[in-house]
Structure formats: C-alpha cells, structure tokens
Structure 1
Amino acid sequence: MSFTELELIEIAHTALGSYLLDVNEVSLINNEYNATFKVTAADSTNYALRININSPRSAENIRAEVAWVKFLENVDGILTPRPIANRSGKFVTTVTHAHSGRELNCILYSWLDGEEVGDEPTLEQLHALGQAMARMHASSKDFVLPSDAALPSFQDPFWETEDFLLSDKSKLDSGEKDLISAAFKKIISRTDALYSRENPQIIHADLHGWNMKWHNNQLSIFDFDDSGIGLPIQDIATALYYLDTPEQDEAMLNGYTSVRQLPPHTKADLEMLLIHRRLMLLNYLYETKNQEHQEMIPTYLEETLRRLRVFLDS
C-alpha cells in the first residue's frame, strides 16, 4: 500500500518518540522506495530518519547494515552517517501503522552535510567514489556479521528478492519471458564462475549519485539499505551502470586502482553484470507501488529486451 504524506509524518513522529530527542521539525525529503525525513532537534542538530515503506528488509538485515556502517566509521577515507540508538539502546525501531496493521522498520542516522551528487557527477567525485569503494572492499573483506544479523546473497539471480519477471506474478508475454530466461541462464553460469574464484563479502550494492553527498571536496556515502553478501566486482559494475561516458568510467576505476587492484574479471564478466543490473531494476519496476516508476516500464522494457538480444548473441 502507499501512504499519504500526512500518514508518513505521523509515523515519523511516532518513531521519533522512541529516541532521546527534543524534536523541533520533521520534513519529508524523499518518498520513493523508502521514506526519508530530515529531523531537526531543538538544539538545531539534524538527523535523517528512514522508514522502510517498500523495502522487504527485515530487522536482521537492518542490524547487519548498522553493524557495517559502525565498522566503516573507523576506516580512514570513508565518510558515512552515524547510526543513532533509540531509548532501548537498539538501532531498529518498529512502528505499527494503525490503519493497515503493517509493521514498519525505522532507523535514525546522523545528518550528512553537503549536496547530493545526483545524475551529473564530476570526474573528481567519481575518482573519490572509486577510492572510497576500494577502501570499503579492502577493509571489509573479513567483516563478520553479528549473530543477530543477516544479509541476502548476491549469488542468487534475484539477490533474494521476489521474482516478478519469470514467476507466476510476471506480466510479461511468453516471448519476453523466454528471452529473459535465456539471459538469466547465462548470467547464473558466469556469476557462479566468479564466485568459484573469489570469496564473497559485504558490499554496498547501490553506489550511485543519489546515495552520495559532496561537501568541502569530500565524498560521503549513505543508504546502505541494499547491502548484501556479494563480490567487489558486482559492486563496481553496479556503480558503472549509472555512468554515461568512458571518461566517467575511467575516473571511477582510476580512483579504485589508486587504492587497490581491480578484482580479476573479463570484459564479458563486466558486460554480464551490467545486464544483470538492468534486469534487477526491471524486476523492481514491476514490484514497486511508485506510480512514476511504474510509468517507466514500457520504454525501459523495450530497451532491456534490445540489450538482451545483443548480450545473448555475443
């Protein structure tokens, strides 16, 4: 179900009652996949409250996210928000929406200064992204989740999300499903080969310009809601998917290699991972209740099918 802005603000105030905060103002700043609020306390300190209104993430998933973000706080060269515990000392606050009976998981973070990088990152910002990503990969290769936390495996073709492309819930015709099924067979085979050569680890899995801020020539990273257990090359490919030019790709990859070597991979591996990302986003479009995103389906599907034909012929 979708929520009105008034309902979301009421839910936010209910959640904030669980924190040791004297709240002065609550503003809805994002209402797409999840709802995000800017919260200003009486002492003028700002916070970011996220309410998972669409995300299927469990409390165990969010505890894993928090544990990793807290770990990254101590890694040089990586700037992230700080998770804020509630009155009970817990980082996940669950609120029940009275009208629907739904339980909504909420998390409060410190506020990051600066502007979102957005769709037009500079080469300097992309170089910084590559460096930050490399530091995350290097520092987290042996990171162990707490016993009360869990994350999805990205070896799974749908990253352990619900399948809206090939299952009984699919709205695609038989020809479209056959093409997507053939692509997934190729993707699964090559992904399994990558996993046989490299140990999986925790990765962000959604590093694009709307999950980054730029302030005083420094990059900060937020929105760890999609993090999971995968391969660094999957993280790299996901970030590359959102770039438009070879110069942008080069800037990000040069930033990465200034810190550590790229994971072993072939050009075909990277092309496969880019196609996989597009299929994951197509699956999301069929899953989401966001009307603006749903309206993208016809054009996005047509281009996806074109790319799949090229991918399968290569």
Structure 2
Amino acid sequence: MNNQFFERTQSDQIASLTVTAHEVLKLYGVLEAEVECINYEFNATFAVTTDSAQKYALRININSTRVRADICAEIEWAQYLYRIPEVYVPAPIANLHDDYVTSIAHSDSGRLLNCVLYTWLEGDVIGDEPSMEQLHLIGRTIATLHQSTEKFQLSPNAQLPIFKDLLWGTEDYLFGPKSQLSDKDRSVLHEAAVQIMKFTDELYENSSAQIIHADLHGWNMMCHEGLIYIFDFDDCGYGLLAQDIAVALYYLDTPEQESALLEGYRSVRALPIYSDNAMKALLLQRRLMLLNYLCETNNQEHKQMLPKYLDQSLERASRFLTDVRG
C-alpha cells in the first residue's frame, strides 16, 4: 500500500482515480465516455456520460473497508428495492463478465479497488436544506423502505455487519491504541459511550434487526418530480429501525423538521418503540462515529474539521450525560 497517494492534493488524487475510472468502464463495454468526479469524500463517485448520451454513476471504493461479500449484499438489496413500488433507487449494472462488483488494481495507492456502476438518477440532491414537504416525503420513503425490507434475505454469497457495537465495525480511533485524544477528552467520551451502549443493548433486546440503509441524509437522496430517490447503499447493514431513523434525524436542525419527517413516517407505519433518552443516545452515537472517521480519514479537507468537531462533540457528550443522569 502506498500511503503517499493520500498525501497528494485532492485534485491529484481525483486525476489518478479518473484514469482508473476509464479503465473500469472498459470492463463494462464503455470505451468512450465523459467522466467527471462529482463526489470525493469517503469514496469517489463519477458521473459517466457515454458517446450515446447514456448516463451512469460509477463508485470507486478508495477508502472503504467493505469486502466483496458486503458489496454483493448492497447490490442484492438495491436490486430488490428497485422492484418495490414507491421505493425509488438506482439499478446496479453488471460488467461484461456478468458481475456487479468490478475489482481493479490502482497502482498509485497500491490497492485493489472495488467498483460498482449504477443507473443515473435525475433530479436535485436534497442536501442540507430540505423543505418541510420534502421532509414529510422523506419520512414516508424511509417507512416504506423499512416496511418493504422486513422479510428480505441475502444469498449465501453476501454478508453484512450487524450494528450492535459503538462504531459499527469500524476501527476504533477514539478509545483504541491509535487514539490521539487527551486522557480528559477520552474519559468524557468513554463515559458517554458506556451510556450509549446501555441504551443500544436495551433496544436490541426488545427489537428485531433487519437490513437498514444506515446513512439516510439529504446528500444521499434526490427529489425528482415530487418523488424521493435514495442512493449510496455502501454503508448498509443489519440494524434497528430506530438506528436508521436516528441517522436521518441527526442531520436536521429544528424540532419542526424532525416532526415533519416523523409525521411522514407515521403516515405509512408506526414508529419503532424507543425512549427519548434512547434516541439521544443514538444521535450522539452518530456523532461519535463521525468523530472517529475524522480521526482516521485520509481526506485532507475533512482532517481540518477535526479540532472544532471534537470540541462540539465533547459539549454534546456532556449535555447527554447530564440528561441521562436526570
């Protein structure tokens, strides 16, 4: 593995991965195409326009720790959801070998990268400022997604993690040997983490796990002709519906926004059972997962966010501990 690749500028990294994207597309029979990087955070996503004006989205897993069996599970679930009325998702595309996961050597990073190709979604990314109407629709969409997936089963060739642990299977940069936190900061966050796991364990004792998206926010949703489209399934796994809802709520700013989303959900099905403190725990867990990501990421832009994000996380952890102690 060549870690020097991740020390290069983001534009240099994107240029290298764009070359790789063209190589990957040849394995799908796409020899001539315009390729543009539209997102480079955790992984690299490219908009692909062929010479016949067909459009696709190509994702190259440059930072993901997901193995082939995980990605196969993502593909199986996306294929299943694509056939469900009132659930709108892109369709996975097979390569010339009839495989939905394409692996390619990337010499600059020294990594074997897994790639997936999806149909293109029209519309506008919802982003950070959803309207109240959109939030109601998002709630309905999440509820329909949950309802449709209750009995879905993966094939023996696919696997997904179960989200029972604090960091959902990712390497621990908060409390493990690679932690760079001060003893004081680590102590506050660890005390909060203990409480988070207490509530999580209680939720798992009283609820059944199923496949959840696990990354439902406005940058993974699009609105087109009054419909909500969901994409970016690479974080999916077995979890609780309350965990999926908590992720969606985490990115909202006001109680009114939260109410709009939850009312939309309730218009389709009842909310899962959770206490106010349990939801606070799940919301803080999301915060700690993102903090952990900032501690380990190779993304230079994201690394710069860490000091401020850590301070805010400590404040939230302290408030949470005050709330749960009564």
Q: 1:278 & 1:32 partners in 2: Cα distance?
A: 17
Shift of residue 276, structure 1, vs aligned partner:
0.6
Q: Deviations over 1:62-116 (max 9, x none)?
A: 1000100111012111110000000111110001012343100000000000111
Partner of 2:189: 180
Aligned residues, how many? 314
Task: Report the residue type matching 1:148 in the other structure.
Answer: N
For structure 1, list consecutive stretches of 5 or more residues without a partner in the other structure. Answer: none
Task: Report the residue type matching 1:186 in the other structure.
Answer: Q
Task: Report the residue type matching 1:244 in the other structure.
Answer: D
Shift of residue 22, structure 1, vs aligned partner:
4.4
Aligned pair partner of 2:155 in 121, 131, 146: 146
Counterparts of 1:1-80 in structure 2, within 5 Å, are 1=3, 2=6, 4-80=13-89
Instruction: Assess if the C-alpha contact under 8 Å between 2:212 and 2:236 holds in 1.
Output: yes
Identity of aligned residues (%): 49
Q: 1:133 & 1:223 partners in 2: Cα distance?
A: 14
Aligned pair partner of 1:197 in 195, 200, 206: 206
Shift of residue 155, structure 1, vs aligned partner:
0.7
Counterparts of 1:224-303 in structure 2, within 5 Å, are 224-303=233-312
Task: Report the residue type matching 1:306 in the other structure.
Answer: E
SS at 1:168's partner residue? Answer: coil
Task: Report the residue type matching 2:220 in the other structure.
Answer: N
Instruction: Assess if the C-alpha contact under 8 Å between 1:23 and 1:39 holds in 2.
Output: no
User: Is 1:311 equivalent to 2:320 in the alignment?
Assistant: yes
Runs of 4+ that moved beyond 4 A: none
Shift of residue 312, structure 1, vs aligned partner:
1.3
Task: Report the residue type matching 1:115 in the other structure.
Answer: D
Q: 2:266 & 2:108 partners in 1: Cα distance?
A: 51
Q: 1:170 & 1:113 partners in 2: Cα distance?
A: 42
Instruction: Assess if the C-alpha contact under 8 Å between 2:25 and 2:31 holds in 1.
Output: no
SS at 1:90's partner residue? Answer: coil
Shift of residue 256, structure 1, vs aligned partner:
0.3
Q: 2:111 & 2:317 partners in 1: Cα distance?
A: 38
Counterparts of 1:99-178 in structure 2, within 5 Å, are 99-178=108-187
Q: 1:99 & 1:219 partners in 2: Cα distance?
A: 38
Q: 1:22 & 1:214 partners in 2: Cα distance?
A: 31
Shift of residue 23, structure 1, vs aligned partner:
3.0
SS at 2:78's partner residue? Answer: helix
SS at 2:195's partner residue? Answer: helix
Question: Could you state the TM-score of these two structures normalised by the residue count of structure 2?
Answer: 0.94
Shift of residue 27, structure 1, vs aligned partner:
1.1
Partner of 2:92: 83
Aligned pair partner of 1:92 in 66, 83, 101: 101
RMSD value, Cα:
1.1
Task: Report the residue type matching 2:287 in the other structure.
Answer: R
Q: 1:274 & 1:32 partners in 2: Cα distance?
A: 22
Task: Report the residue type matching 1:258 in the other structure.
Answer: S
Q: 1:22 & 1:11 partners in 2: Cα distance?
A: 13
Q: Deviations over 1:252-276 (max 9, x none)?
A: 1011000000001111111111111
Partner of 2:9: none
For structure 2, list consecutive stretches of 5 or more residues without a partner in the other structure. Answer: 7-11
Q: 2:247 & 2:145 partners in 1: Cα distance?
A: 15
Q: 2:109 & 2:137 partners in 1: Cα distance?
A: 43
SS at 1:4's partner residue? Answer: helix
Question: Could you state the TM-score of these two structures normalised by the residue count of structure 1?
Answer: 0.98
Task: Report the residue type matching 2:217 in the other structure.
Answer: H
Counterparts of 1:215-230 in structure 2, within 5 Å, are 215-230=224-239
Q: 2:241 & 2:109 partners in 1: Cα distance?
A: 39
